[in-house]
Structure 1
């Protein structure tokens, strides 16, 4: 009886780990890519005029991040982060960086939520 309980607990832990990886990995990446693309389109960014610097999922927080340089505004780095539970417009947050500090006057500013 003890072996059955231990086996069941191990199976639940392994299954939960696999589900957590799939949910926070490939599924979060796919949803994040789509949300960030929609956000950039709403900002009127020409998607053919961007250079991706890096992208990835933070497995602990479940946040997907993409970092771009937009060729029309090459001085700034645009860091988009997607969290499905953020409550922000498009569930995307934008951080514009230049030389390691946040910029408030960028060519493509943050979008405000429409009512």
Structure 2
């Protein structure tokens, strides 16, 4: 059984490495190779193809502090379909700790 956990942890570590590559690329000021998909009231949405698939980047300014936004998203994750039309449902299956939950998300696309 423990060999399954090892493989899972290796896959997770690989996922974090790939995510860091995407995040580092998205922080580039010149947005090299990113396509501007839409712009609305100064907010710009870009996308770019990566080996893991198409990634979207949106930079937006909110009139709330970051902690309040994070807490709302964390505590109200099941409400995601009310503001994201690409998500059909989100269910919190289990709370592992105050810092980790297992979620089931069903997308429409």
Fold match (TM-score > 0.5): no
Normalised by the length of structure 1, the TM-score is: 0.31
Structure whose CA Rg is larger: 1
Return the structure number with greater strand share. 2
**Under a length normalisation based on structure 2, what TM-score does the superposition of the two structures give?**
0.33
* Higher RCO, Cα 8 Å, sep 6+: 1
